[in-house]
Structure 1
């Protein structure tokens, strides 16, 4: 069963207008991530991946991440669009979040612009911001999209969405 897309208002995007296969583009917004009270990301150079039914996933250039807080993980994943992915855990002082960020060291040609850029799950962080707006994590355990007021769904990961 296909969901009924929410009609976007002026200044909003519908995730149902995003393409499949996904598209990569500059985010053109300020992205900030806070973990255990420390701002570990502050950038205006992020890229975003847009895929049908998913809110944007933001990829951060490595030089705009406080690298001392990233711990390489043995976990890996595979994306049919981006290729083989690897994970980081994040540790700030006495707080650690396991496997909460991922990257592609050798992405497919269509995603070569995000080689070694890092995406973060929003839920384990204290806060993630897009242009100062605190994001809502995409529902579901698997998905890494960030929901803001300028994006409408319904979103993959919500109850009943597995059949989409």
Structure 2
């Protein structure tokens, strides 16, 4: 697997609100139950104040045959309605392990049908060969990579940030 150098250190407190949408050419890999669920160098990422980046993988680079639609939905004030996915590899089922926006609101239309994964609900997520740490909490799905600095929203006592 090819790796790329990590960008310079950055603080999530320098990220904008509303969030920015950026392309990220680094190798993104998601693994679960012995399978590579997603692999791309064409990811989009969302940068939002106080959050580690969320990486969205193009549908062509996701093993959609291993995703099962879940009944759960949520609403983002910026991107609109999200649908959720279980990752199913044989008898191994990871509930609500991924989400996507089928019809994101402007200016986030490029995210349509791209899939984001909760790093803590699959076995491994990596950026440029580095295994990420999941953002704390059970709602936000940011990936903490070596260049990203907090403190991060999502953990205990951060709901009011």
TM-score by length of 2: 0.93
Unaligned runs of 5+ in 2: 1-6
Superposition pairs for residues 105-120 of structure 1, below 5 Å?
105-120=102-117
Q: CA RMSD in A?
A: 1.0
Unaligned runs of 5+ in 1: 1-9
CA distance in 2, matches of 1:157, 1:84: 20
* Partner deviation per Cα, 1:26-81 (whole Å, 9 max, x = no partner): 01211000000111111000000000000000001000001110001121111000
Total equivalences in the alignment: 155
Aligned to 1:45: 42
TM-score by length of 1: 0.92
Aligned to 2:144: 147
Runs of 4+ in 1 over 6 A off after TM superposition: none
For the residue of structure 2 that corresponds to 1:98, the secondary structure is strand
CA distance in 1, matches of 2:107, 2:153: 23
Give 1:15's match in structure 2, choosing from 12, 28, 41.
12
